[in-house]
Amino acid sequence: MTELVLIRVTGADRPGVTATISSILAQYDVTIMDIGQAEIHDTLSLGILAAIPSRAESAPVLKDVLFKVHELGLSVSFTPVTPESYDHWVAQQGKPRHIITLLARTIEAGAIARVTTIAAEHGLNIDQINRLSGRVPLDNVADTTRACVEFSVRGAADQATMRAQFLEAANELGVDIAFQEDDMFRRTRRLVCFDMDSTLIETEVIDELAHAAGVGEQVAEITERAMQGELDFTQSFEQRVALLKGLSGDVLEGIAERLPVTEGAERLISNLRALGYKTAILSGGFNYFGRYLQKRLGIDYVFANELEMEDNLVTGRVTGRVVDGQRKAELLRELADQEGIRLEQTIAVGDGANDLPMLSIAGLGIAFRAKPLVRENAKHSISTLGLDGILYLLGYHDRDIH
């Protein structure tokens, strides 16, 4: 009768350990039913679920493994596995899988404890834990670091309830926690659409134009109320643009050259391009500045509002349909169709209430440094890191990123 034995090897990591152990098992025609290996701070943890055939008694196999492991200066343990236990393990196949991503400048034990406690309370089993961020020197400055730990969990879960609990925990701990299904779409996303103002750039362009026109306070007040969802975007947009009437077009170039690009934007987009993603700006701002960023960052598509000019002066109007929240969602759908992909393969990133329609239909909708209303209604959010933190939500390690 075939014997099932779980072999655990731990100790100082070195090349060839797995090869040595598996070679011994091969001599006895052992079948590997499961295998997993992890290395933390040069310490190895190797697990092998071995099915030892009846013609090869387990004692000689395990004795040879034991001697070789001790010769290598490592530790080993052997645990018999019953057929009933193995059948139960097999029955877990097909259960829903999710990814929990914890992001912060530095990750404290309290954050790990909170995340794993919530997962356990919902009956989710953690299969793997991976650090996606690179190794950080002890003397590194905390506000310039990136830290990310990814948990692969298995089991059914009430996603809305878990996201609400994770958002509460994130707010209390000053971290970001994302919870998403681990399905094929997570690994096949192909289009990323960004809001521009306060997302790709760290300012609202219309506020910069308003300062130049001498109506900064009036426009800023309307902008804030619109972003909070207190005003209809289109109506508020028209009110703000009207206040710009008479502004010289000469000031636009200077404002464009001074636009502060958001932390991590260049790193994110250069890597997305290298990985074959398409990118787009879907903005309630202005095409002039969207095209400037398109050239600077290498964006594929730009859809924003055209600021009407006459005799090089702003008329206080825009031409064409205003790009509001509904239009952003329509454009996301249109671009997905154009690229021949499903909505599940799209990503949308924004900070304001007018971004919620596109965030809600995208496969991965991310509220970036967003207002509380937007964070509460978006499925995912990033507030502690720069835009390049999105690469972690896609499952990329720092070692994969330029």
| Domain layout of the chain by residue ranges | 3-91, 97-182, 191-400
Q: Do domains 3-91 and 191-400 have the same CATH topology?
A: no
Instruction: Please tell me the predicted confidence (pLDDT) of residue 117.
Output: 97
Average pLDDT over residues 86-92: 85
Average pLDDT over residues 135-157: 84
β-pairing, 147-154 with 125-131? Answer: antiparallel
Residue 91, pLDDT > 90, answer: no
The reply to whether 195 belongs to the active site is yes
Q: What is the tens place of the pLDDT at every residue in 196-228?
A: 999 999 999 999 999 999 998 898 888 778 767
Token representation of residue 288: 């002039």
Strand partners, 7: 48, 78
Instruction: Please tell me the predicted confidence (pLDDT) of residue 128.
Output: 92
Q: What is the tens place of the pLDDT at every residue in 283-316?
A: 999 999 999 999 999 999 999 999 999 999 999 9
The band of 361, judged by pLDDT with boundaries at 50, 70 and 90, is very high
Q: How far apart are CA 279 and CA 294, in angstroms?
A: 10
3-class SS of residue 131:
strand
Is 97-182 in CATH node 2.60.40.10? no
β-pairing, 380-382 with 364-368? Answer: parallel
The mean predicted confidence, pLDDT, of the chain is: 92
Angle at which helix 287-297 crosses helix 250-257, to 10 degrees, equals 40
Token representation of residue 258: 């001074």
Residue 254, pLDDT > 80, answer: yes
Average pLDDT over residues 308-334: 94
Strand partners, 152: 99, 128
Token representation of residue 209: 């134009």
Q: Of residues 13, 29, 139, 197, which has the active-site annotation?
A: 197
Q: How far apart are CA 205 and CA 186, in angstroms?
A: 33
**Architecture per CATH, 191-400:** 3-Layer(aba) Sandwich (3.40)
Q: How far apart are CA 253 and CA 355, in angstroms?
A: 26
Instruction: Please tell me the predicted confidence (pLDDT) of residue 223.
Output: 76
Instruction: Please tell me the predicted confidence (pLDDT) of residue 57.
Output: 73
The reply to whether 87 belongs to the active site is no
CATH fold for the domain made of 3-91: Alpha-Beta Plaits (3.30.70)
Instruction: Please tell me the predicted confidence (pLDDT) of residue 268.
Output: 97
Instruction: Please tell me the predicted confidence (pLDDT) of residue 305.
Output: 96
**CA 154 → CA 24, 98, 180, 363, 397, distances in Å?**
33, 6, 12, 20, 21
Strand partners, 180: 99
Among 13-17, 55-59, 70-74, 245-249, the range scoring the smallest mean pLDDT is 55-59
Q: Of residues 176, 195, 324, 355, which has the active-site annotation?
A: 195
User: How many CB atoms neighbour CB 54 within 10 A?
Assistant: 9
3-class SS of residue 28:
coil
